Chains A and B, each alone.
Chain A
């Protein structure tokens, strides 16, 4: 069974701090790993990672994948209160149909002014 584990489950930091969120996974046929940010209701897409060692960057957010060690990290530098959210990591189902996403439980980030 595919598995996605995120850590920490929650994190409280002060504005300006840098945070690193972790996601480890176990899938039979890895294709990609996705990061989402969930604030109120719907997750919003952040990154899709398919290749090991290549950093994806968007503003203060960046992410990298290690396919050998089966994990990914999401970094947020100079955090702001608007970064407060649940960050979800997901991998597509490795079954033949391969249409579902298996989500981790998420990391709840709280940024204090």
Chain B
């Protein structure tokens, strides 16, 4: 497809389980970002990948959160031992080079931790 895609679109899990969220960026975009948006809150930066550089993980809220990216393509965000406060929409975005350019967002994954 032409845009950023994410899967699953919705995920319901039990507290304590691990979840994996996937993002396919726009082809050719070297930069990829993960954000989280809790209900009624603003967008919260989580992690950034740029080409083959080491990712910036400064926004990850705890060591239960991790993310990987394969080259300049697919990224997965993993949340281990999920907690109820992890419930949010997780948004992925990509941009051409990452230098303050327009970021194009995927449709998001709505995560609900029971």
Contacts and interface: CB of A to CB of B under 8 A. Distances in A.
A92 B107 contact: no
A98 interface: yes
Contact of A93 (B91, B100, B105, B107): B100
B91 A99 contact: no
Interface string A19-46: 0000000000001101010000111110
Contacts of B50: 99
Interface stretch (A52-60, A61-69, A71-79, A100-108): A100-108
B42 interface: yes
A88 interface: yes
A113 interface: no
Interface in B66-102: 89, 91, 98-102
Q: How large is the interface on A (under 10, 10 to 19, 20 to 34, 35 or more residues)?
A: 20 to 34
Residue of A34, A42, A48, A100 contacting most chain B CB atoms (<10 Å): A42
Residue of B45, B89, B102, B106 contacting most chain A CB atoms (<10 Å): B102
Nearest to A30: B100
Contact of B105 (A42, A99, A104): A42
Contacts of A99: 31, 33, 48, 50, 56, 98-100
Given A41-B108, A42-B105, A103-B43, A98 B91 contact: no
A67 B69 CA distance: 37
26 contacts: A32-B100, A34-B102, A36-B105, A41-B89, A41-B91, A41-B107, A41-B110, A42-B105, A42-B107, A42-B108, A43-B43, A43-B91, A43-B105, A44-B105, A45-B105, A88-B43, A92-B101, A97-B56, A98-B99, A99-B33, A99-B48, A99-B100, A100-B48, A101-B103, A104-B42, A106-B42
Across the A-B interface, give the 3 residue pairs with the lowest CB-CB distance, nearest first.
A92-B100, A41-B108, A42-B105
